Amino acid sequence: MSLKVAIIGATGLVGTTMLKVLQERNFPVSQIIPVASAKSIGKFVAFNSDQIEIVTVESALAMNPDIALFSAGSSTALESATLFTELGCKVIDNSSAFRMDPNVKLIVPEINGNTLESSDGIISNPNCSTIQLVMILAPLHKKYGIKRVVISTYQSVSGTGAKAVMQLKHERHDLEAEKVYPYSIDKNCLPHCDDFTENGYTKEEMKLVNETRKILDDSSMRITATAVRVPVDSAHSESVNIEFSEPFELGEVRSILSGTDGVVVSDDVALNVYPMPIDAEGKDNVFVGRIRRDESNENSLNCWIVADNLRKGAATNAVQIAEKLVEKKLVG
């Protein structure tokens, strides 16, 4: 099978990573169709050894792609996704546009990829911080039953986009910077990821709550989150406290996580081994460490989770969804 793949938002941080991941994983591509905003039309992106011209959405539709990977924001997805599905194209959207739509599946392939069906025209890619979280929660929930989760995130600037990365770089060198954030991010931490909502939480914090429940298919799970932006280029970190319904042994928890596809246990405090953003950057696995019993609460566990937000948190997960569509013969 060889497929025509459109990348909508091909010049952004996630879009360029999608192109890279498609190459690295040898996805069966017959034609890449890069799409970007008007200012990029006529420019080129690299794919394998070729330079591919960037086109408009209208031109991409005329090329009749088999799969469209969207990473251009909610407004673009809402405007254009159905135009692609009407052609029989499968849309995998990285924005929040369809994530909580009850008729659209929210997919992390290792967890619920087998639920994909031929009728799924639009498939939603979860939020980056949610993906790494549920990769750890899912196998533990299956074994012990999770009652409550408390999450504190430490999120890199690349999660905001290229302008945020540039702000951090400029501030590090004492240069004037266009401020994407309301304050300096260098030498600082901002307890402010995305916009605040009426309940005092940010949209990012509520994504962790609502998306996790949807992916794990458990609306009763109690979840609360605080999301913080930190002066790190790439890879998000999370401190997570999990309360189980059943008792557990630490050795069994480590064994379960070690046997989970896409998860790496990095946990040997005697040798100062634990996950860090600097080690996760550029990798597709989710790393977990500092696994320890919460001595203040029965059947509770603390852990530290790190993953590259541009790869497993976005581009790689989207490509893995496309791979699952190919595996199940739902495309082409």
pLDDT tens digits for range 124-153: 999 999 999 999 999 999 999 999 999 999
Helix H, strand E, coil C: the string for the chain is CCEEEEEECCCCHHHHHHHHHHHHCCCCEEEEEEECCHHHCCCEEEECCEEEECECHHHHHHCCCCEEEECCCHHHHHHHHHHHHCCCCEEEECCCCCCCCCCCEECCHHHHHHHCCCCCCEEECCCHHHHHHHHHHHHHHHHHCEEEEEEEEEECHHHCCHHHHHHHHHHHCCCCCCCCCCCCCCCCCECCCCCECCCCCEHHHHHHHHHHHHHHCCCCCEEEEEEEECCCCCCEEEEEEEEECCCCCHHHHHHHHHCCCCEEECCEHHHCECCCHHHHCCCCCEEEEEEEECCCCCCEEEEEEEECCCHHHHHHHHHHHHHHHHHCCCCC
Say what the pLDDT of residue 1 is: 78
Q: What is the pLDDT of residues 95-104, one digit of tens each?
A: 999 999 999 9
Q: What is the pLDDT of residue 177?
A: 85
Spell out the CATH class of 129-161+188-309. Answer: alpha beta
CATH superfamily of 3-126+314-327: NAD(P)-binding Rossmann-like Domain (3.40.50.720)
- Residues serving a catalytic function are 128, 236
**What residue spans in the chain does CATH classification 3.30.360.10 cover?**
129-161+188-309
pLDDT of residue 187: 97
The pTM score is: 0.97
| Domain(s) of CATH 3.40.50.720: residues in the chain | 3-126+314-327
Report pLDDT digits (tens) over 283-314. Answer: 999 999 999 999 999 999 999 999 999 999 99
Residues of the chain with pLDDT under 70: none
pLDDT score recorded for residue 32: 98
